[in-house]
Amino acid sequence: MREKILEKSKELFLNLGFKSVTMDEIASSLGVSKKTIYKYFKNKTELIDAVTLHMFNTICTGINGVCELKLGAIHELFSIKKIILENLKDEKSSPQYQLQKYYPKIYASIKQKQFHVMQDCVVDNLKKGIETGLYRDNIDLEFISRIYFNGIVGIKDKDIFPLTNYSMITLMNNYLEYHLRAISTQKGVQELENQLKLK
C-alpha cells in the first residue's frame, strides 16, 4: 500500500503541484480513507519528503542502468534525458517551484542529493567524451559539471521559463543541445546531429 500511495501522490503532485494537492484528493484517487494514508505518513510534509526521495531514487536507478550500458558519451546523455522525462512525465505544475516555495527544507535536501549524484555522473560523462574524441580536451571538468547542474535546475524556474511558453521536453532538449554544442569537437557535433535526428 505504501508504494501505491507514493506512486499516486507522485502523479498528482507532478500534475497539480505539491501545494495544490490535498490529502483528501490523494485518498479519493486511491479509493481509500485518509486514515489509511496516515497509517504510513503522519502528515503531508512527511508524504512529500517520501515522494521526492522515491522519485530521486527511481531516477538514480534509471541513470545507473544507462551508465552500465557503456554507451558513447553523447548517446548516454540523450538516454539519461529520456529516463528523466519518463519519470517527470512532462510536469505541468512547476513542482520544483512549489517545493522550493512551500517546502524549502525538502527542496534543499533533494537539491543537495541531486548535485552529488549529477556531479559524479557528469564528470564521468565528460571524461568518457574526451577519451573518445567527442568532447574538446581542454574543458574544465569541474566547471562544466557545475554549470550543467546549474542549468538543469535553472530551466525549471517558471519565472524565467513559464510553462505556458515552454514544455519541459522542449527545455530539456534545447538545454542538452546547448550544452553539447559548447563542449563537442567536430566528431561530437556530428554525433549530436545524429542523435537529434532520432528524436
pLDDT tens column, 42-70: 999 999 999 999 999 999 999 999 999 99
pLDDT tens column, 135-190: 999 999 999 999 999 999 899 888 899 888 988 889 999 999 999 999 999 999 99
Task: Show the cell assigned to 114.
Answer: 541531486
Residue 174 sits in a domain whose CATH number is 1.10.357.10
The helix/strand/coil state of 140 is coil
In a domain, 90, yes or no: yes
In a domain, 4, yes or no: no
Decide if pLDDT at 93 tops 80: no
In a domain, 96, yes or no: yes
Q: Which domain holds residue 65?
A: 45-198
In a domain, 109, yes or no: yes
Global model pTM greater than 0.85? yes
The helix/strand/coil state of 184 is strand
- 16 burial via Cβ count (<10 Å: 0-12, 13-18, 19+): middle
Count of CB atoms situated within 10 Å of the CB of 118? 20
| DSSP state, residue 83 | H
For residue 15, name the pLDDT band (cuts at 50, 70, 90): confident
In a domain, 12, yes or no: no
In a domain, 141, yes or no: yes
Q: How many domains does the chain have?
A: 1
The helix/strand/coil state of 135 is strand
In a domain, 108, yes or no: yes
d(CA 61, CA 83): 10
Asked if 167 contacts 85 with a C-beta cutoff of 8 angstroms, the reply is no
In a domain, 30, yes or no: no
